[in-house]
Structure 1
């Protein structure tokens, strides 16, 4: 007959062994998932712990590349200028090094946020191609317009002098873009191929700064939430006609939520009869739009025209919020007042 004390001691021993299970002994896929909760720079630092830890970070599924994550962990700056700023070459070299060592598997999200332009296209193309090959579901590219303090010499007649980066045509291939569910672009030029028919599974799209409306309409049939941010400048004449964005109801026939944030660096003058008759576009009956929010609304003629068009076309609209308050996301942080923003 088993001694009760032996049974008790055995149970205690088992519990102690269970309590002694270390992080090191967890399966590799679980370790990879844990490290993916850390910023990529901190995850990489675990590679020095042991041989087993050396390559765990290489399956990190959340790749965020910015001036903070690409700065060496011991790098400290007492100012925001001079040596405190990561150079373009340093940033590019470090991103290249990380992606070269990464397995390229299981990337859920990839973000590049730095002051780059089209002259860096060779490197950015490689990063986009990495995202395509790894079947990334969320791709965010925020370049020149993000975190860039524009000095007077940088601006000429309200335009940023640097050319924005052009996305590679490979991204718009039906197969390559089929995994994308979330896309955010800032200061990126879209030159869509003639045969482009929209991203098949895209559900969330944010376009900020210098995006041009396409001449040929395509459809985002899976898009449910669209966030447009417009920076509009000019006193007497301006290039952006807010009414043009009525195309959204045609481009995204199943959209449920539309957010339109307008930042108008021009005279705020509400519509008057002297401004002429209100224009209208052909009504497109939209049966899925439920919520619309328009901020930075000062009653300009084209703003009123767009609001009326949305109201008249959205047969199942539940709520429409209009406010003059200027609302911007972090994507527009420190964008110069001379920047133009269009979205499509």
Structure 2
């Protein structure tokens, strides 16, 4: 419930009070409650002054518990404005549970600086008791050129009180790294804290820290912490379910102990010194890893249901090794910049795989990957429901179907569960035309085939105002892709299937269209 709902409620209450006054006036009733000095009766006796006071009242006559609930449900910026306009809300503001500070909630101008930010945050927090805080989120990341670290300790002292559940601290990259004060994690805080997310800080927990009994999710991004310190933190977080490590350059190894019985999700991105991951957590079900040197062969993966891997030359390994090492895999995402070999044809199966996404981020030196070989994954996945293939290239690396129109043929197979297929970066490449044709001929339950001639985001998707940049040569290739669809694919689409072909956005790629 935001300010709109509150204003609506107050408007209805004022209307009721106005009608009540009008009825009392018609009946000749006295609208004052007494003949005090300065009362409406002594200042005219017509009740208009009293009615004006009621109409000017900013808060309806509701129980304090209801007002507090309304205030808690407001976005923080609306809640702060209401506190400025009402004494009743000002009182409840001292116990507002969600303190979220960023450029938007603070109302900082685009060219605002850190001084303005910290003055506003400090002023708000000084009016808060620190009691009842459930969420504290401080996004200071865009305050470049201003070191506000001397204020952070005092702000955290207000926020980190028993009962807090979520703490997020986003700091900018500065010469002096802020040292997160583990001493503020008292017994009461450790008992209630469930979510901890830190960015651009130094974190040095010790064995004296004590148990974080309720911590279920830990996110560390560009945090200065060694493996020994992280191990101390993990061993004290027996309820931990999710660990995210991004760009933590001081960690060289990672070992998840078997004592983390509820641990289910691990994400490691950009930790380039990290070489080995070991995990004995019995219920690990989700892995998201990036790094061509990362060795996760010592991870217990028999329960893994979701794997996302950003690594070159992984498609062939995935086809050959994952069916046995991750037999319960349901979702597989592979991002690769180059592949030395194509996907092999093997008898092993992904019995439970339902969702497959492969992104090929090819460079000018990459070998053109034979996308038609991905039929091997379709044959190995009897439960596959969705397939997404994205091919990115700076210029046309593949042989066009118009250069060799003799399409390869594979014995017919029936893929009874495949319902949705999307190919982004679709071109006139012969292997892509062959793959699309194979799917149309063999996916008997197919409902939708989408061929997008662009790779990447488009304007209007989410907060994107412009489409992904498209080179002039690829804009020209997009027209050849459309011709390939009309020539080789459209006549194979069954009447029960939906074919969607997306052209490049002419508004965002006007210059590329002119140059092509």
Partner of 2:153: 125
Q: Which residue of 2 aligns with 1:320?
A: 307
Query: How far does the alpha carbon of each residue in 1:125-158 deviate from its partner, in whole angstroms, 9 at most, with x for none?
Result: 111111222531111111114xxxxxxxxxxxxx
Larger RCO of the pair (alpha carbons < 8 Å, separation 6+): 1
Number of residues paired by the alignment? 254
Are 1:166 and 1:188, in contact at CA under 8 Å, matched by a contact in 2? yes
Structure 2 equivalent of residue 183 of structure 1: 196
Gaps (5+ residues) in structure 1? 1-15, 146-160, 233-238, 267-278, 327-344
Contact 2:195/2:217, CA 8 A, preserved across alignment: yes
Match of 2:169, SS state, is strand
Change (3 A) 1:53 1:178: closer
Judged with a 3 Å threshold, the aligned counterparts in structure 2 of structure 1 residues 250 and 121 are, in CA distance, closer, same or farther, namely: farther
Relative distance call for 1:176 and 1:240 in structure 2 (3 A) is closer
Q: Is the 8 A contact 1:171 1:177 kept in 2?
A: no
TM-score normalised by the chain length of structure 1? 0.63
| 2:231 is the counterpart of 1:205 | no
Q: Is 2:224–2:248's contact at 8 Å kept on the other side of the alignment? A: no
RMSD of aligned C-alpha atoms? 3.4
The aligned counterpart of 1:34 is 70
1:60 aligns with 2:77: no
CA contact (8 A) 2:164 2:189 kept: no
Residue 166 of structure 1 and its aligned partner are, at CA, apart by 0.7
What SS does the aligned partner of 1:64 have? strand
Aligned to 1:292: 287
Any idea what the Cα deviations from partners look like across 1:234-275, whole Å, max 9, x if unmatched?
Answer: xxxxx764xx13x234684531122233487x9xxxxxxxxx
- The 8 Å contact of residues 33 and 60 in structure 1, kept in 2 or not, is answered as no
8 Å CA contact retained: 2:251, 2:271: no
Q: Which has the larger radius of gyration?
A: 2
Q: Does 1:254 pair with 2:267?
A: no
Could you tell me how far apart the structure 1 residues matched to 2:245 and 2:126 are?
34
Equivalent residues of 1:119, 1:165 under 8 A apart: no
CA 1:240–1:129 in 2, change beyond 3 Å: closer, same or farther?
A: closer
Q: Where in structure 2 are the equivalents of 1:58-137 lying within 5 Å?
A: 58-71=94-107, 77=109, 80=110, 84-85=111-112, 87-115=113-141, 120-133=148-161, 135-137=163-165
Closer/same/farther in 2, CA of residues 231 and 176 from structure 1, 3 Å limit: closer
Equivalent residues of 1:174, 1:200 under 8 A apart: no
1:226 aligns with 2:243: yes
Partner of 1:168: 181
Q: Which residue matches 2:483?
A: none
Encode CA deviations 1:257-304: one digit per residue, 9 max, x unaligned: 22233487x9xxxxxxxxxxxx877x653212122222x45xx23x1x
- Report the 3-state secondary structure (helix = DSSP H, G, I; strand = E; otherwise coil) of the residue aligned with 1:195: helix
